[in-house]
Amino acid sequence: MDTFEMALKLVKPNCFFSSIDLRHAYYSVPIAEEHQKLLRFIWKNTIFQYTCLPNGLLSAPRIFTKLMKPVFATLRQFGYMNVAYIDDSLLLGDTEDECIENVQNTNDLMEWLGFIIHERKSVFKPAKQIVFLGNIIDSVSMTVVLPKEKVEKIVLECQNLIKKNVASIRLVAHVIGLLISTLSAVDFGHLYYRNLEIEKIQALKFSFGNFDQNMTITFAMKADLKWWVENLHCQKRVINRKNPDFSMTTDASLKGWGALFKDQKIQGRWNDVEQTYHINVLELLAISYTLKAFCKNYSDIHVKIFCDNSSAIAYVNNMGGIKSKQMNEITKLLWVWCIERNIWISVEHIPGKYNAADVESRKIDDHLEWMLDKQVFHKLVEIWGTPDHDLFASRLNCQVKSFSSWKPDPEAVFVNAFSILWSDEVFYYLFPPFSLISRCLQKVQKDSAEVLMIVPLWPTQAWYPVLLEMLIDFPKMLPRKKRLLSIPGTEKIHPLHNQLKFLACRLSGKIWKTKAFQTRLPKSFWRLGETVRKSNTQLMSSNGSVSVVKGKLIHFNQL
């Protein structure tokens, strides 16, 4: 199922939005007559049964989403960018004309399939600001904010709860639900609801799960609620954070803490009270002390922190948690300190076994070491030249000598490809995990990079039309051979080698290069719903060997 987060990954500066909402979407799906008896209910002593997909059925969202997958896959094959969440779809275009075309073709296809368009809820006129799934997305400021009426409703609920010293657990849970619903549009909202959540959980334990029992509204809960009342109207979420300005490493033991920043090293011992803390708390304190020691005179920066404690990492990245009240409070104080200086922090894991002294005995997870067949790679090199840097590799499966690894590697030039600038002066090779493809495309655009990227042929994915728009040469369909993907030094082959099809794509984040390529393409006369015609050329050997971008036909050449 597409999500709001997936939608944000498609947003570009100054792009245009529209949306199409389906009226009575579930009721458009008939139920087989022999199965209607399974959807019966009794009302006023009369038995009724559904003849169409009912609202409230647990499996209904998944069923409807799977039903709509081929519909949006068809649109994406034509280069139309969209994200669909059940009956609500967001349509995007780089220009107003592109967005209009997207809306027209999507609307025509939906009506042709028999769906009813909810005209009052749909947005047919492209705009740079739109409400989608309860949030306002703005491509000019590249931010997400809440609608005014939603802000007013939540502020009123918080004000009413602040006035109470005692309230039902159900009411507190209701307010918490409202606060959580804002997190997709409020960057720092995570910091100011967990005191309520922690107290609610404790109250439920004492009441044996009875939501109608009363609980005390503590001072800490009221302090969090007050923040929402005073700040919600001016809160927003930044869609695309800048790259880290620098990074630092922290560590903690039961005796003290230490840190490394650039060529500086610092260390300190714990006081008598701190020595009694759990190691997870100490690791979190080490991060806090390191930031305050190195960044007290900085502002408007993004800091990447490397730490070997998973709990501390989770608390910082999630802006708190509910398992440890102490760690939640330390995290909150740390983030408040950062907010005052406009410092954004992100923490990444470094396992202790990856320390320099343990490099030789480092164990590697085989499932992370899939490598493209060397002969296939060399054929691509003959066409497009040798890449300068492999962005997702290890010392075992790198295709070129200079590479970045996911975790520290004895021969890696960089760790974590997303933590560095992808320079437009360097030609990169990318074979990323499938879950990171959308993020990689966004990074290529952001840094105006040029890359050779290996991706599966998946037109059902939201990133597919974005990929098509970034092409600067005809993509190559890789041969379907048994050892196309293998693990170096072993006989292991990819378990899905018979099912997956792969493309090699030359991409650029520079618009003038993509437009230059698109001008070379023939105009597409392929209409929605039409089967791709076979051709006597090798370029169109079967369905799926062509796609359309901005009205132009792209042939997928066989390597």
In degrees and rounded to multiples of 5, residue 553 shows phi and psi of -90, 130
Closest CA to 522 of 546, 495, 487: 546
Task: Produce one character per residue of 406-440: b if its CB has 16 or more CB atoms within 10 Å, e if not.
Answer: bbbbeebeebbbbbbebeeebbbbbbbeeeebbeb
Q: Is 367 helix (H, G, I), strand (E, B) or coil?
A: helix
Task: Give the Cα separation of 462 and 224 in Å (integer).
Answer: 37
Q: Going by C-beta distance under 8 Å and a sequence separation of 6 or more, which residues neighbour residue 356?
A: none
Rounded Cα gap, residues 416 and 439, in angstroms: 13
Q: Which residues of the chain have pLDDT under 50?
A: 354-364, 532-544
**Among 428, 445, 439, 505, which residue's Cα sits nearest to residue 472?**
505
Phi, psi of 11 (to 5 degrees): -75, 130
* Best CA proximity match to 510, nearest among 549, 476, 471: 471
Structural tokens at position 378: 């060399």
How far is residue 180's CA from residue 190's CA, in Å, rounded to a whole number?
Answer: 8
Q: What are the pLDDT digits (tens) for 487-510? A: 776 777 887 778 889 999 999 999
Q: How far apart are CA 205 and CA 263, in angstroms?
A: 50
- Each residue of 270-300: pLDDT tens digit? 887 888 999 999 999 999 988 888 888 889 9
Radius of gyration of the chain, Cα coordinates, nearest whole angstrom: 27
Least Cα distance to 348 among 404, 304, 413 occurs for: 304
Q: What local confidence, expressed as pLDDT, does residue 496 receive?
A: 79
Q: What is the pLDDT of residue 537?
A: 34
β-pairing, 81-85 with 88-93?
A: antiparallel
Closest CA to 10 of 147, 122, 132, 145: 132
- C-alpha distances out from residue 274 to 50, 114, 336, Å: 62, 66, 21
Q: Are strands 301-307 and 246-252 parallel, antiparallel or unpaired?
A: parallel
Q: Which of 4, 41, 7, 87 is nearest to 462 (CA)?
A: 7
Rounded to whole angstroms, how far apart are CA atoms 126 and 516? 26
Tell me how far CA of residue 101 lies from CA of 16, 31, 105, in angstroms: 12, 33, 6
Structure tokens given for 554: 């792209």
Q: What are phi and psi of 555, to 5 degrees?
A: -90, 140
Three-state helix/strand/coil letters over 98-166: HHHHHHHHHHHHHHHCCCEECCCCCEEEEECEEEECCEEEECCCCEEECCHHHHHHHHHHHHHHHCCCE
Instruction: Collect all residues with Cβ–Cβ distance below 8 Å to 221 and sequence separation of at least 6.
Output: 172, 195, 196, 199
**Residue 237 to residue 239: CA distance in whole angstroms:** 6
User: Domains plus CATH for the chain?
Assistant: 4-142 (3.30.70.270), 148-238 (no CATH), 246-350 (3.30.420.10), 366-558 (3.40.50)
- pTM of the model as a whole: 0.76
- Give strand pairing partners of 249: 260, 306
Q: Hey, what are 542's tokens?
A: 């079967």
What pLDDT does residue 469 have? 93
Pairing mode, strands 135-138 and 129-132:
antiparallel
Do the strands 476-477 and 557-558 form a parallel or antiparallel pair, or are they unpaired?
parallel
Distances (CA, A) of 37 to 26, 33, 137: 18, 8, 43
The pLDDT assigned to 525 comes to 64
φ, ψ at 33 (rounded to 5°): -60, -35
- At 488 the pLDDT is 78
pLDDT value of residue 385: 95
**Residues 240 and 446: beta-carbon distance below 8 Å:** yes
Q: Check if the beta carbon of residue 239 is closer than 8 Å to that of residue 143.
A: yes
User: What's residue 354's pLDDT?
Assistant: 46
Q: Which amino acid is at 50?
A: Y
Among the residues of 354-436, which ranges form H helices? Answer: 374-384
Beta bridge partners of 385: none
Query: What distance in Å separates the CA atoms of residue 66 and residue 86, rounded to the nearest whole number?
Result: 10
Is-contact 348 313, C-beta < 8 A?
Answer: yes
The DSSP letter of residue 471 is B
Helices (H) and strands (E) in the chain, counts: 14, 30
